[in-house]
Structure 1
Amino acid sequence: MKTTLIIMAAGIGSRFGGGIKQLAKMGPNGEIIMDYSIYDAKEAGFDKVVFIIRKDIEEEFKEVIGNRIQNYMDVEYVFQDINDLPEGFTCPEGRTKPWGTGQAVLCAKSVVDTPYVIINADDYYGKEAFVKLHDFLINHEKMGKEFDMGMAGFILKNTLSENGTVTRGVCKVDDNNLLKEVYETTGIKAEAEKIVCDDPEVEAWAKPESNVSMNMWAGYPDFLDYLEKDFSTFLSNISDNPMKKEYLLPNIVAELLREDRINVKVLETHDKWFGVTYAEDKEYVQNAFKQLIENGVYPEKLWK
């Protein structure tokens, strides 16, 4: 069975040489975080990569990574545009904020007809999550709901930054490893053995070992069909905040959970997340990749 890796990269800025965090060189031969994610996905069995980008960065994006990757996997590009809306809708005058991760993934609908995994461009997820989600997509049997998805469940303490607080989707999971609820939570950090955050209710039950979502979802084409219809519903209900309201994957999944229309299997991964949330994180991530190479997790030259 064919499988696709969808990478949300439309948030990357232009002028790549000017210090854009997602394009910072992390590996010994100029590899960026995306290189390692794609390498892990290919190793796990994924056949194709779909890059979701903005049209204005297409040429530079291909120079930095796309042209290299097309030598190893099938590559497609789709473009997220604030004005790419369903018939009957127009972008509110003055809005500049993108519509969010739900619309980003919807942009890929025309080129994705296989099971897929969605990731962020600037997060390092580790090998275990790709293997588990690929196995889920290939071997999964329907669980009786309208939609089935998988989610990489990262251990909260493995996703923190030493340089400041982070935002995470903190999850409640049942005894069958099915997602019950996900709480988008800001201001998360560890103090001693305790998790503190901006939400007192989440702080009351969240633990260092709690599962969190890092926007790494496994799904099937029927979910993309749902997004197409649901995005119109979302746009019909933005009058309370037309300049900033976003169509976000965690919120979409949470609503389907409330409606009892979806099963989301949480596949726990023990790999440590890396990402450049703060400028100070760059050196830490570079050293982390150096250590992974020294430990034999990756070859020094990633793409032969």
Structure 2
Amino acid sequence: MRVESVFGCMKVNCEGCAGCCLDWQPLLAELTDEDGDVSDSSRGPLHSGENSRPPLDDDPNFVALARDEVRDFLEAGMAAALTLRFWGARDDEEGVTIDGYEVAAVAGRPVFFVGLCKPPKPVAPFDRAESSWLPACVFLDPETLQCRVHDEDLFPAECSAYPAHNLALEYETECERVEAAVGGNRLLAESVETTPEDLLLGSQAIGEKLFCHPRPRDLEGTIDRLVDGNLTAADRAECLAVAAASSPGTLAISDSHYEWGKERAVGDETESWVGPAIREWQALARSTAELTPELGGQIERARGASETPGWDTLPAVEDDRRTE
């Protein structure tokens, strides 16, 4: 068994999976249990009615970036790799009305996360013989199902902490949902060093991971497009600039960092392979083109994406998870 043991204290068998890096819910109709019932095991806590502020997007595995990570992506010319998450308000008192939606807010400021987008890619997770068009992380190599930035400075802290964060919060991990739906051993150790206190939750997240937009009117049209899955570069630029200009623990916005972030976000996308690759993926998906993961990977590599190492170079790790 080859294992990508990348999650701190966690031992995880990632080969052939990528369940946490793509939306495999469209495959659920084909993933049935022994009684013929469709498994719903891939639905995370945000999409299973356990959260009173439902996200306005439909990404079941959203990776939230910290402020400095947003700045790093902007500096690298990779604004196109980023997307946004807003939430519906729990009640009228905490919300701001934008485009007909009651959007969750703090002190009248709509709050949002910044994360990694998932363009459609032809992938074959769980040892499937044929590939399917599925929303997959912008940095996921569709051929190897490995992360292109795993060993780089841009690798998000939230990705490196998974699935330890879920275990600390007593949420089911994607590893366990994959095991329940398709079998196999993914989560190889249940020990976890992270505690809920280590996570950016509540007020300590403001300005560091949870960003507050100071001008709700500037988001008119953005929320509609977010819900429809049609965010524009201008939508992203406005919010990325606010995120880059935020101050941890406060609602303050740095004007100079806002202007810098806006300029970087609307800058020349030829700095990176990400934007052109995303546009080609989207065009191919609309054309219902049939591509293998191998051919698909060439789309990214031809534009300068880094190679992934493959699985043969990784050491074998034994499954030491306690079994009943």
TM-score normalised according to structure 2 size: 0.27
Higher strand share goes to which structure? 1
Query: For the pair shown, which has the larger CA radius of gyration, 1 or 2?
Result: 2
TM-score normalised according to structure 1 size: 0.28
